[in-house]
Amino acid sequence: MAPPPEPQQSIGSVTNLPLPRFAALRSDEVNLRTGPGTRFPIEWTYQRRELPVEITREFELWRRIRDPEGTEGWVHQSTLMGRRSAIVRGAPNAEVVLRRRPEETANPVARLRPGVIVRLRQCEAHNAWCEAQVGDHRGYVRRTDVWGVLPDEEVK
């Protein structure tokens, strides 16, 4: 018989922060474990600093995360940072345009391929656009073109 489903948390039991919420990987080497502790086996090692991840649960110093591909597991809270990033979505050869202003007709600042990580500078609640930065390029990207921010979330 299967165990009962885990209760869905809306506030972290450790941090009292909302769940789910987004964070980013702190380094180029972050171990994803099958459970919340070093006694659990490493399932995967991420090698991409600033990759956005969604925190879905908390247990002591451990956070259950979901990555942009949907893989889930546990990481130590020290391997995460609060600085926000997002990853460009889309078909392999598609492009997402980073624009000078938050308007569809604004001049392009850069053309981004799916998989590019952008730093989120600001997203106003209930606004379709977020201010983002890639290297020296700053502009606006549609919220729906990136993964790493909730539909109505405010990022400051």
pLDDT in tens, 5-29: 555 559 999 999 999 999 999 999 9
Boundary (domain end) residue, out of 50, 83, 116: 83
pLDDT in the model for residue 92: 87
Quote the domain boundaries for residue 95: 87-147
Beta pairing partners, 75: 63
Q: Is residue 1 part of a domain?
A: no
Same domain assignment for residues 136 and 110: yes
Chain segment 39-81, per-residue pLDDT in tens = 999 999 999 999 999 999 999 999 999 999 999 999 999 999 9
Same domain, 101 and 143: yes
Which residues sit opposite 63 in a β-bridge?
58, 75
Give the CATH number of the domain where residue 51 resides: 2.30.30.40
Residue 6 to residue 8: CA distance in whole angstroms = 6
User: Is 155 part of any domain?
Assistant: no
Asked whether residue 64 is assigned to any structural domain, the reply reads yes
